[in-house]
Amino acid sequence: MGMLDGKVAVVTGSGNGVGRGEAVMLADHGAKVVVNDLGGSVAGGDAGDQRAADAVVEVIKSRGGEAVANYDSVADFDGAANIVTTALDAFGRLDNLVNNAGVLRDKMMFSMSPEDFDAVVKVHMYGTFNTMRHASEHWRNESKEGRQPRASIINTVSSAGLQGQASQINYGAAKAGIAAMTVIASLELARYGVRANCVGPGGFTRMVAMAMKDIEVKNPEDYTEFDAMNPGNSAPAVVYLASDESLHVTGQVLRLVGNNLAVYQPWEMGEQFLATDKAGNAAQWNPIDIGRILNRYHFRSQNPGIDAQRRA
């Protein structure tokens, strides 16, 4: 018995790299999988090649699993609807939506065109919204008909959005947005039996190869032993979040790179400071006092800063 027997999963962008590893492992654990991939280049904007999705379907079938291919673009609202429909038509249900599709157009912000920014946000953030929008409508209808789902959304994030990365203002903005959307989805969909979480993966992928020309990019299933750079290393977290073992987990952001598992902490307010007048009553902050308080109690430094030293 697999952890995902009887479940149906959609994995977007699963023709290569991280998504491919996730699709194959989901199938290994019993899920029937819709392998979605447009078949375009890493930069996007080109014609698709259906062979990417077809190849993964064949890999899954060769390992005893069930899978069908879908070639729609997540960036297209109607295309995203067809991805969901593919699962329902082929397997009669949908239990897991794994959003992994993405493109990359790295440039420093002063050199980035609006088209480069828009293209990346359109696929990552809009694409994630598009598939969630259609899947959530289906699950809501199922719940209203008395067929309460045990469904799971698993979105892909990156340290570029959660910690920052120069030259990726478009990609980072999209990934940070996806994390926020996921938390909100977990709040909106809980009543309908739907959980929403994120996974931050890593490894040698086609995207990484754009910046590191000398790396070897291999399919996740082709690694014969553990390798920290295998892009399939994040797949176990996806299997767990897709399974009923994680029914209590929602609104979380996991990071699984190599053999390192961590949980990102959401934005939270730190220590709070209150402005008062001499009588102790609430008062508006004086800008000078803000710097004094932050330097002393938050930054733990009395250094006036480089600019202040230069002016002195």
Consecutive H or E run containing 254: strand 253-257
* 43 and 104 Cβ atoms separated by less than 8 Å: yes
Q: Which amino acid is at 195?
A: R
Structure tokens of 172? 């980072």
- The catalytic position among 126, 171, 223, 264 is 171
DSSP at 303: -
Which amino acid is located at 266 in the chain?
A: P
* H/E run at residue 54: helix 51-62
User: Do the Cβ atoms of 181 and 173 come closer than 8 Å?
Assistant: no
Residue from 51, 46, 15, 48 nearest 33 by CA: 15
Tokens 């600019």 sit on residue? 307
Q: What are phi and psi of 168, to 5 degrees?
A: -130, 45
171 a catalytic residue: yes
Radius of gyration of the chain (CA): 22
Q: Which residues are catalytic?
A: 171
